[in-house]
Structure 1
Amino acid sequence: MHTAAFLTDLDHRLSSIETILQQELLPLPEAVLNHKPAPQSWSVLECLEHLNRYGRYYLPALEQALGHSGTALRPTEEVTFSWLGRKSYEMVRPENRKAHNTLARMNPARSHLGRTVLQEFREQLSFLKTLLPLAYHTNLNRKAVPVEFFRLLKLQVGEALLFVVAHMQRHVQQAQRAAVAATHHVAPQPA
């Protein structure tokens, strides 16, 4: 995919996530936000806390990678993908509903979570959107972002951007499903 089209697509995906967060998730009462659809499933807040934990690692790594521009791709040049980048994206792409084991430090199950999770996620989403314009001046095919669980492996900058955004989409969709399930099981609070 050409650089400009790639970055425009990421921006659209982030805008969609932002809309879902604002219109669907932020207005939910805390009982709905913490309801688990099943004992082994994550609540809305657990889905977003999982993303926050990944964001705490990947957003600074992306900021650093985007700050070292080097030779930028022209907007008409192709963003390429390595085997690792394709595999990473395949695991987290929103259409892939297969469950994957998560690292213990990234698993928010049984955490005591509140609305601050929503605020942190909103801030991370906003920060990621401010990083995208920097990508127009960066070589997206440069290996510069260490993989969180094995830092000797590096993703290309473009791969890392796509991974983070697709991972957000996947778990925001999971949060939406948890919210729908919760609204059918959580009794409304008296006014």
Structure 2
Amino acid sequence: MDTNTFLAQLQAAVRQLQAQAETELAPLDDFTLNFKPSPERWSVLECLEHLNRYSRYYNPAIAKALQQVPTQAQNASVRYSWLGRKSITLVQSDNGKQYKTVKHMNPVGGNLGREVLTEFREHQAQLLTLLDAAQCADLNKKVVPVEFFRLLKLGTGEALEFVVRHQQRHMQQALRTKQQATSARLALAV
């Protein structure tokens, strides 16, 4: 896929994430934001905190990569390595498999409040800025270290797509949890 189309699709996805956070999650009360379908499942805020933890690493790593990579020929194709394809496939929202997250990225047990939503919104704005900056960068240059094993590197384009797809996956999880909270509240009212 050419760079312009690739980046436009990612920008549209991030704008959709922003809209979902604003319209679907920001208006929720504390009960719904903190509702856990079961002890081992995440609440809405835990889903977003997990994404915030990844953004705290990947947004600066991608920003640094964009400063280091050379400019690319106009509208070149984005290429994928085996590691990039595998990483993106694992986090696709239509991949129904559940995976354990690394311990330091697991938000369970934290005392979370609405500031998690604020931080999530800030990270989305930063990501849109990074996607704009990526317009003229060589997205195939492998300069973004993988968070849990930094000797492995993703291409800048692969890292951008990984971040966006990962966020889509957990936004869907947060929206499902919101629905479960609504159902639980209705059951309590009966």
What amino acid does structure 1 have at the position aligned with 2:7?
L
Tell whether 2:133 aligns with 1:138. Answer: no
- Separation (CA, whole Å) in 1 of partners of 2:97 and 2:56: 24
SS at match of 1:50: helix
Alpha carbons of structure 1 residues 186 and 111: separation in structure 2 relative to 1, 3 Å: farther
Equivalent residue number for residue 171 of structure 1: 170
Q: Give me the whole-angstrom Cα distance separating, in 2, the residues matched to 1:110 and 1:60.
A: 26
Equivalent residue number for residue 58 of structure 2: 58
The whole-number CA distance in structure 1 between the counterparts of 2:176 and 2:131 is 28
8 Å CA contact 1:73–1:140 kept in 2: the answer is no
The CA RMSD measured in Å over matched residues stands at: 1.2
Distance 2:96 2:18 in 1: 21
Contact 1:68 1:138 in 2 (8 A): no
CA distance in 2, matches of 1:26, 1:4: 31
Identity, in percent, stands at 51
Q: Could you say what secondary structure the match of 1:154 adopts? A: strand
Q: Displacement of 1:183 after TM fit? A: 1.1
- Within-5 A mapping of 1:15-26: 15-26=15-26
1:125 paired residue number: 124
Tell me the residue number matched to 1:110. 109
Amino acid at match of 1:12: A
Deviations along 1:47-71, whole A, 9 cap, x unmatched? 0000000111000000111122413
Are 1:71 and 2:71 counterparts?
yes
Contact 2:14 2:124 in 1 (8 A): yes
1:29: how far off?
0.3
- Take 2:134 and 2:71, find their aligned partners in 1: how far apart are those partners? 11
Find the aligned partners of 1:107 and 1:180 in 2 and give their Cα distance. 22
Runs of 4+ in 1 over 2 A off after TM superposition: none
SS of the equivalent of 2:119 reads: helix
- The total of aligned residue pairs comes to 187
**1:7 and 2:7 aligned:** yes
TM-score normalised by length of structure 2: 0.95
SS of the counterpart of 1:151? strand
- Give the TM-score normalised by the residue count of structure 1: 0.95
Whole-angstrom distance in 2 between the partners of 1:158 and 1:73: 15
SS across alignment from 1:136? helix
Deviation for aligned residue 1:40: 1.3
Structure 1: which amino acid aligns with 2:65? A
- Residue 183 of structure 1 pairs with residue 172 of structure 2: no
> Hey, what's the Cα distance between the residues in 1 that align with 2:148 and 2:185?
36
Q: How does 1:76-95 map to 2 (within 5 A)?
A: 77-95=76-94
Contact between 1:146 and 1:153, CA under 8 Å: does it hold in 2? yes
Deviations along 1:4-26, one digit per CA (max 9) or x if unpaired, are 11001001100111110010000
Contact 2:69/2:141, CA 8 A, preserved across alignment = no
Relative distance call for 1:137 and 1:69 in structure 2 (3 A) is farther
Aligned partner letter, 2:23: Q
5+ residue gaps in structure 2?
none
CA distance in structure 1 between the aligned counterparts of 2:115 and 2:25, rounded to whole angstroms: 13
Per-residue deviation, 1:186: 3.0
**Structure 1 SS opposite 2:59:** helix
